[in-house]
């Protein structure tokens, strides 16, 4: 594949090389270097924030219809670069090429288009009695994004922030940073003024900390681990920034005793294994009626056997490598922990899959008869590991589903009204009933240690606005 043309910082509308220190971007399937990006410094962050600050007054004063038109053109530009985006993500973090084409490259297009379409109907001003309530840009936004859906996570922040009139300084993940360069090129071609969107590559302890601590940044928006989210909150608190966090998850898929198992189980496996399980909103816990446990395990194993592991550039591959060797070792460690703690290994296991002696490959794994408080049922593994947990009765299913520190997503399968009643009881930000489709206008975000704030639709726009009341 050809790497993106922009493997530099993007500051004030220009490609900036930065220091001579660089970060290697590795193909996790082969270990080969596919690109290098500059290892940013505090000085680079200062320059980017200065550019964003200088660009803010003009951009905030730009008519909302023009801001929406630019966001729409960004969506169109990303659509035109879809194949470039897909092959880049497959090379830098190992997503299977079919997933990269049909999800990684498509979701950002849909998100940006849906945000632009909301401009005309969003309540930018509101009359309440003798008060005019106006919603204004919060200012300079610092964004830090992860490697698992590298472009979607950026666009989910950038599109609403731009529509709301903010400027942004982004630190993409150093593991999968390359589509940020594509986005910078597309945004410039769409007519986004210089300085409105800036990209500084680098590590979290240097670039991330500098952005979060900087007094010129008015808001931090972060997607990633709960551990890092805590650190960002602590650093940002020194300047009382607004902080929006989309963090980890350990979501439950509750299969009721009247569910259509032929639908629920394969979809549940898919929601555990998609993107190699490297999805914050995955469903790694399958809660099943104890009376149907063995039947469901058999169906889950049959479904898992269909997940071909291999070269992510091969269209037949359904699970590629983990995004890095470090992530592979992490997943392997949890699989070994599950075995050591006495869970029943129904499929897969530790070690690389047969025929794949090198590369960051993990074996898709299913554990059966897992205790609800087991480590593998409580901690986020972020790999293709499904834990099947039996329950006795709806109340216990809800209790188990809610008994983690997380609350991001979830699923319920069963009769419509009963499933809805269960969904209402789950302490989680989003629940799908019977495999309902994704809605880019619906709010997405977590309860508890899965974070705070919401993305997508009007809820995502609201995150990037201050509210002022003017009495007359």
- Position 4 scores a pLDDT of 56
| CB contact at 8 A, 73 and 190 | yes
Q: Which domain holds residue 420?
A: 252-440
Same domain, 262 and 201: no
71 found inside a domain: yes
Burial 139-154 (b: 16+ CB within 10 A, else e): bbbbbbbbbbbbbbbb
Same domain, 318 and 240: no
The three-point CA angle 210-214-215 to 5° equals 175
pTM listed for this prediction: 0.96
Give helix 82-93 / helix 64-80 axis angle, nearest 10°: 70
58 found inside a domain: yes
Confidence class of residue 20 from pLDDT cuts 50, 70 and 90? confident
Same domain, 394 and 267: yes
70 found inside a domain: yes
3 found inside a domain: no
The CATH number that applies at residue 265 is 3.40.309.10
- DSSP type of residue 455: B
430 found inside a domain: yes
Give the mean pLDDT of 286-304: 98
Strands 242-246, 219-223: pairing kind: parallel
Same domain, 262 and 388: yes
Same domain, 225 and 322: no
Q: Can you say whether the dihedral through the CA atoms of 420, 422, 426, 431 is positive or negative?
A: negative
Into how many domains does the chain fold?
2
pLDDT in tens, 122-148: 999 999 999 999 999 999 999 999 999
Same domain, 303 and 325: yes
Is 5's pLDDT higher than 90?
Answer: no
d(CA 331, CA 148): 15
The percent of residues in the chain predicted with pLDDT above 70, rounded, is 99
The CATH number that applies at residue 98 is 3.40.605.10
Same domain, 145 and 241: yes
Annotated active-site residue 32? The verdict is no
86 found inside a domain: yes
**Residue 30 CB coordination number (10 Å):** 15
Same domain, 243 and 257: no
Q: What does each C-alpha distance from 456 to 142, 235, 439 come to in angstroms?
A: 18, 26, 9
pLDDT in tens, 399-434: 999 999 999 999 999 999 999 999 999 999 999 999
Q: Tokens standing for 337?
A: 């922990």
117 found inside a domain: yes
Q: For residue 70, give the nearest of 172, 219, 196, 181 by alpha carbon.
A: 196
Query: Mean pLDDT for the chain?
Result: 97
d(CA 17, CA 38): 7
* Phi, psi (rounded to 5 degrees) for 376: -70, -15
Q: For 279-321, where are the alpha helices, taking DSSP H only?
A: 293-304
Give the mean pLDDT of 94-118: 98
d(CA 405, CA 412): 19
d(CA 221, CA 158): 10
Same domain, 51 and 182: yes
What 3-state DSSP class applies to 162?
Answer: helix
Same domain, 58 and 176: yes
Same domain, 196 and 222: yes
Same domain, 195 and 219: yes
Catalytic residue (one of 246, 380, 455, 463):
246
4 found inside a domain: no
* Phi, psi (rounded to 5 degrees) for 347: -160, 145
């Amino acid at each position: 594949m050809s790497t993106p043309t922009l493997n530099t910082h993007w500051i004030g509308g220009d490609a900036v090389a930065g220091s001579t220190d660089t970060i290697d971007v590795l193909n996790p399937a082969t270990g080969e270097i596919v690109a290098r990006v500059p290892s940013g410094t505090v000085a680079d962050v200062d320059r980017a924030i200065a550019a964003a600050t200088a660009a803010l007054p003009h951009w905030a004063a730009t008519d909302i219809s023009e801001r929406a038109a630019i966001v729409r053109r960004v969506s169109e530009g990303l659509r035109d670069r879809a194949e470039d985006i897909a092959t880049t993500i497959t090379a830098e973090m190992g997503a299977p090429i079919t997933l990269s084409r049909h999800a990684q490259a498509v979701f950002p297009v849909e998100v940006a288009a849906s945000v632009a379409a909301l401009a005309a109907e969003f309540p930018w001003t509101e009359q309440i009695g003798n008060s005019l309530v106006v919603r204004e840009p919060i200012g300079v936004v610092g964004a830090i994004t992860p490697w698992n859906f590298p472009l979607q996570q950026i666009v989910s922040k950038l599109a609403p922030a731009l529509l709301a009139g903010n400027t942004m300084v982004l630190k993409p993940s150093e593991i999968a940073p390359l589509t940020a360069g594509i986005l910078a090129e597309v945004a410039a071609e769409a007519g986004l003024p210089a300085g409105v969107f800036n990209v500084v590559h680098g590590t979290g302890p240097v670039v991330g900390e500098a952005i979060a601590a900087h007094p010129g940044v008015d808001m931090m928006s972060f997607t990633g681990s709960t551990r890092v989210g805590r650190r960002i909150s602590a650093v940002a608190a020194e300047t009382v920034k607004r902080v929006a966090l989309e963090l980890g998850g350990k979501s439950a898929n509750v299969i009721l005793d009247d569910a259509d198992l032929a639908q629920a189980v394969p979809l549940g496996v898919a929601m555990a294994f998609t993107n190699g399980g490297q999805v914050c909103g995955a469903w790694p816990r399958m809660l099943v009626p104890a009376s149907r446990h063995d039947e469901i395990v058999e169906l889950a194993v049959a479904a898992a056997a269909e997940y071909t592991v291999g070269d992510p550039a091969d269209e037949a591959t359904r699970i590629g490598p983990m995004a890095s060797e470090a992530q592979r070792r992490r997943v392997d460690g949890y699989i070994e922990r599950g075995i050591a703690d006495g869970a029943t290994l129904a499929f897969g296991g530790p070690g690389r899959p047969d025929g794949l002696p090198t590369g960051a490959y993990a074996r898709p794994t299913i554990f059966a008869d897992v205790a609800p408080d087991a480590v593998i049922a409580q901690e986020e593994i972020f790999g293709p590991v499904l834990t099947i947990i039996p329950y006795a009765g709806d109340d216990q299913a809800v209790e188990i589903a809610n008994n983690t520190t997380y609350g991001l997503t979830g699923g319920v399968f069963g009769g419509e009204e009963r499933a809805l009643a269960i969904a209402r009881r789950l302490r989680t930000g989003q629940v799908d009933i019977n495999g309902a489709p994704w809605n880019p206008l619906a709010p997405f975000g977590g309860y508890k240690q899965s974070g705070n704030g919401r993305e997508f639709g009007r809820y995502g726009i609201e995150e990037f606005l201050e509210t002022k009341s003017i009495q007359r």
